[in-house]
Amino acid sequence: MFRCGMILLRTFLGITCLIILVVRKLKRRHLSMDDMIENFLQSQNNLMPIRYSYFEIKRMMDGFKNKLGQGGYGSVFKGKLRSGQLVATKLLDKSKANGQDFINEVATIERIHHVDVVRLVGFCVKGSKQALVYDFMQNGSLDKIIFSTEINTLSWQKMFEIALGVAQGIEYLHRGCEMQILHFDIMPHNILLDENFISKISNFGLAKLYSVDDNIVSLTATRGTLGYMALELFYKILEASHIKPMFIVLE
54-107 pLDDT per residue, tens: 999 999 999 999 999 887 667 899 999 999 999 999 988 765 555 667 777 777
Instruction: Say if residue 247's pLDDT is above 70.
Output: no
List all residues 6 or more positions away from 113 whose beta carbon is below 8 Å from its beta carbon.
none
Instruction: Give me the chain's average pLDDT, please.
Output: 74
pLDDT tens for each residue of 7-35: 655 665 566 655 655 545 544 444 465 66
Residue 29: inside a domain: no
Percent of the chain with pLDDT over 90: 25
Q: Is residue 150 situated within a structural domain?
A: yes
Q: Answer yes or no: is 197 within a domain.
A: yes
pLDDT at 133 over 80: yes
Residue 50 clears pLDDT 50, i.e. is over it: yes
Q: Which of 34, 101, 143, 185 is catalytic?
A: 185
**Any domain includes 236:** yes
For 141-183, strand residue ranges (E) read 180-182
Bridge partners of 32?
A: none
Within-domain flag for 243 = yes
**217 part of a folded domain:** yes
Q: What is the pLDDT of residues 137-172, one digit of tens each?
A: 999 999 888 887 776 678 889 989 999 999 999 888
What one-letter code names the amino acid at 235? Y
b/e code 44-83 from CB counts within 10 Å (16+ = b): eeeebeeebeeebbbebbeeeeeebeebebbebbbbebee
Most confident of 144-148, 188-192, 240-244: 188-192
Has residue 49 been placed in a domain?
A: no
Domain range for 169 is 143-250
Q: Give the total number of structural domains in the chain.
A: 1
Annotation says 135 is catalytic: no
Task: Examine residue 138 and state whether it is found in any structural domain, yes or no.
Answer: no
* pTM of the predicted protein model: 0.70
- CATH assignment at residue 167: 1.10.510.10
Largest CA distance in the chain: 85
